[in-house]
Amino acid sequence: MPAHLKGNYFEKIMVTATNLTIKMRPSGQKYFYRKNDGPLKKCDYGEEITVAVGESLTIIGRDDNITFAPLPDAIKRYGFEVKEEIDHRSVGKEKLTTKIFMVTSKVEGAQELRDGVVALLEPSTAAVEKLIIAESNKEPAK
């Protein structure tokens, strides 16, 4: 999933320690979005949508949904759980669901996306433990 999120759905995905910003593609399929439990809104081509770490954002298409949700409570300030659902049952295919953790902290064994800022982890207890250990080993800011 990670490699195609940008090309298939978004023009840009930007993650900082405090926010996720996505920029919708300038053409192609139209989408709707919902922040947290707010109202459903139509995405405009090229629109930038920002959500804070710890909040949720769902992008809804004709046959696909992508949800950026908070991580488990112990680590929710470090990024998002990303869930992609593709439902092609109407044309005789399966419904596929993929989940990853997208974190704003370097974790050993994770795939770095950009300058060590964002890493992707399989969602598992081991991934959560790695993130907690990595964060506890950081030196405090001076």
Task: Name the residue range of residue 104's domain.
Answer: 2-136
Residue at 42 is within a domain: yes
Residue type, 92: G
Residue at 115 is within a domain: yes
CA distance between the termini of the chain: 37
Residue at 112 is within a domain: yes
What is the sign, positive or negative, of the torsion defined by CA atoms of 17, 13, 110, 79? positive
> Do 31 and 65 contact (CB within 8 A), yes or no?
no
Backbone angles phi, psi at 11, to 5 degrees: -80, -35
Residue at 64 is within a domain: yes
Q: What is the DSSP string of 10-24?
A: EEEEEE-SSEEEEEE
Residue at 141 is within a domain: no
What is the pTM assigned to this prediction?
A: 0.77
- From first to last of its 142 residues, the chain has per-residue pLDDT tens of 344 566 678 888 887 778 889 999 999 989 999 999 999 999 999 999 999 999 999 999 988 899 999 988 877 887 888 888 988 777 888 888 888 888 776 555 555 554 444 556 666 767 767 766 766 666 544 4
Residue at 75 is within a domain: yes
Contacts for 101 with CB less than 8 Å, ≥ 6 apart: 71, 79, 80, 81, 82, 120, 121, 122, 123, 127, 131
Backbone angles phi, psi at 97, to 5 degrees: -130, 130
Q: State how many domains the chain has.
A: 1
Residue at 142 is within a domain: no
Residue at 61 is within a domain: yes
